[in-house]
Copies of this chain bind each other. A is one copy, B any other.
Amino acid sequence: MNLEALLKQVTFNAQGLVPVIAQHFETGEILMMAWMDRQALETTLTTKNVHYWSRSRKALWRKGETSGHFQTLKDFYIDCDGDTLLLKVDQIGPACHTGQKTCFFNKVTF
């Protein structure tokens, strides 16, 4: 599929963003959830270096650009209604800025 055809299938929200789940391609662990704008999506697909849109900094963000904890794109999925993306990635170091392996390290028990 070419990039233009894919972009037509993606439903960006009112802010021009789409949620993205990053899953480790080997372990199946869910590493994080973040957001992409059109530019982050294009850059990720053309370079295979995963980029997101930083909502706090309002800027294109190459994952790992400050930490060195880069993500490499392995496989790319779009969901049934086009409003969520799933990336299977290779992850250098921990995915979470806290130093944890994934951002979902808080298990809540009741």
- A60 interfacial contact with B, CB 8 Å: no
Return the chain B residue nearest A108 by Cβ: B76
Complex CA distance for A19 and B35, rounded to whole angstroms:
12
The answer on a CB contact under 8 Å between B30 and A23 is yes
The answer on a CB contact under 8 Å between A84 and B33 is yes
- A78 interfacial contact with B, CB 8 Å: yes
Complex CA distance for A97 and B29, rounded to whole angstroms:
24
The answer on a CB contact under 8 Å between A103 and B76 is no
The answer on a CB contact under 8 Å between A33 and B104 is no
Return the chain B residue nearest A32 by Cβ: B79
The answer on a CB contact under 8 Å between B107 and A80 is no
Contacting residue for A104 out of B86, B105, B109, B110, CB 8 A: B86
Residues in A lying within 8 Å of B, measured CB to CB: 1-3, 6, 19, 21, 23, 28-30, 32-33, 45, 75-81, 84, 86, 96-98, 100, 103-110
